[in-house]
Structure 1
């Protein structure tokens, strides 16, 4: 087991190792997926999340071992990049990788601080009367703008991947999670609007976000509204069509 730990947690290296070694026997289950599992546990006096990435197949194992960083390493590196550009994400504590004698990657783990959040964008989608909904959307647009200005193209920018913490009336903090799919590049205004498409925004939400983003970029509100609406509707049609085809094939 190879471990890379943040300097701030260097003194707790052995404790982190113990939590990971006991992953399947201890901790509280948060997410159980076919490939990834997330549990919470306690490191010292702080709650932490441990994300387990299952051993990839042979082909991907070769790719991740010699040509591309593992998901665990990317999660750790990308979190450090985000924090270095004042973009909030749960603090990265460590990542761990198991390799065999040939150097091929097996299981891997990413450890980060736990964020006790209040809700995600998903709740706003399902509840048009959500308290301070437009204020939250405007601040979310500012958060995404800040991300884009830092050349971050978050490929999994979807409703459940931004945790929201209410600080007070009209004040919210946003934290990116599930970080391993990102590109770091300068983004055109069209690419920036495209980056919102997976949020599954309603037409009302599109209007609010487009207006705020236009203010931040000195772009035409009408132009951004048209772009964002087009990207959103195209994505929804594509997903709906995929689901329809799958249902047909199952019959």
Structure 2
């Protein structure tokens, strides 16, 4: 067992000398059982297909291997996504929660990675702290790999607001947003004040919604008792 979450779990297996990471998605409710059979692709299938698209576009993600879906006469029972297990040095979360060495350099390279993703028309809807794996390479360079891929959109062009909104979940810290804004402005040609203004406003809006939702859930749990 590698991760035992409340919704999904991940186990590691050694197959022919390779460590394989297999994610088991939560069993869907009745409505989603039917939807995933007749109307929508399962999370496992989307993960595999989106990973394949990312690889084709030169965006880092662990190598996709397979997906599996188990159906009954009603709909989807269980689904799994298998990919290579990637050993990383950190995730973006460590940059948020610790005083990580070389943090500014990593932030700037992460921003370059995200800009490249945006230029290729990729909108990663779960672009959040735990979903970017980071590997340290030689000469102060870092490689970035996206995980938890089942929520993505692909466009011919991403608007400026969509790009900034895509970065609004990544950190609540104003100083980190300032560094990312500075780097994004340099490589995009946008005015830095415009980049920071919108990125920081969208970040504050997201944090407000996030903590409001947590308060509501806490109250609901209290009332249930």
Is TM (by shorter chain) over 0.5?
Answer: yes
Say whether 1:235 aligns with 2:206: yes
Say whether 1:88 aligns with 2:60: yes
**Corresponding residue of 2:122:** 152
Say whether 1:50 aligns with 2:22: yes
Is the 1:54–1:106 contact (alpha carbons within 8 Å) kept by the matching residues of 2?
no
Change (3 A) 1:227 1:63: same
Is the 1:80–1:92 contact (alpha carbons within 8 Å) kept by the matching residues of 2?
yes
Shift of 1:200: 2.2
Q: Which whole-Å CA distance do the structure 2 matches of 1:223 and 1:86 have between them? A: 29
Q: Which whole-Å CA distance do the structure 2 matches of 1:248 and 1:77 have between them? A: 39
**Corresponding residue of 1:161:** 131
Q: Which whole-Å CA distance do the structure 2 matches of 1:99 and 1:232 have between them? A: 40
Normalising by structure 2, we get a TM-score of 0.94
Say whether 1:130 aligns with 2:100: yes
Counterpart of 1:198 in 2: which secondary structure? coil
Match of 2:196 among 225, 229, 234: 225
Instruction: Please list every run of 5 or more consecutive structure 1 residues that lacks an aligned counterpart in the other structure.
Output: 1-28
Match of 2:47 among 55, 66, 75: 75
**Corresponding residue of 2:186:** 215
Say whether 1:140 aligns with 2:102: no
Match runs of 1:97-136 below 5 Å? 97-100=69-72, 102=73, 104-127=75-98, 129-136=99-106
Q: Which whole-Å CA distance do the structure 2 matches of 1:116 and 1:130 have between them? A: 18
Normalising by structure 1, we get a TM-score of 0.84
Shift of 1:245: 3.2
Worse overlay, 223-232 or 178-187? 178-187
Shift of 1:248: 3.9
Is the 2:171–2:177 contact (alpha carbons within 8 Å) kept by the matching residues of 1?
no
Shift of 1:56: 1.2
Counterpart of 2:190 in 1: which secondary structure? coil
Q: Which whole-Å CA distance do the structure 1 matches of 2:12 and 2:93 have between them? A: 22
Is the 2:62–2:147 contact (alpha carbons within 8 Å) kept by the matching residues of 1?
yes
Is the 1:30–1:38 contact (alpha carbons within 8 Å) kept by the matching residues of 2?
yes
Larger radius of gyration: 1
Change (3 A) 1:103 1:94: farther
Match of 1:184 among 144, 151, 154: 154
RMSD of the alignment, in Å?
1.4
Instruction: Please list every run of 5 or more consecutive structure 2 residues that lacks an aligned counterpart in the other structure.
Output: none
Is the 1:200–1:236 contact (alpha carbons within 8 Å) kept by the matching residues of 2?
no
Q: Which whole-Å CA distance do the structure 2 matches of 1:82 and 1:63 have between them? A: 25
Q: Which whole-Å CA distance do the structure 2 matches of 1:190 and 1:76 have between them? A: 28
Q: Which whole-Å CA distance do the structure 1 matches of 2:18 and 2:70 have between them? A: 25
Shift of 1:169: 4.0
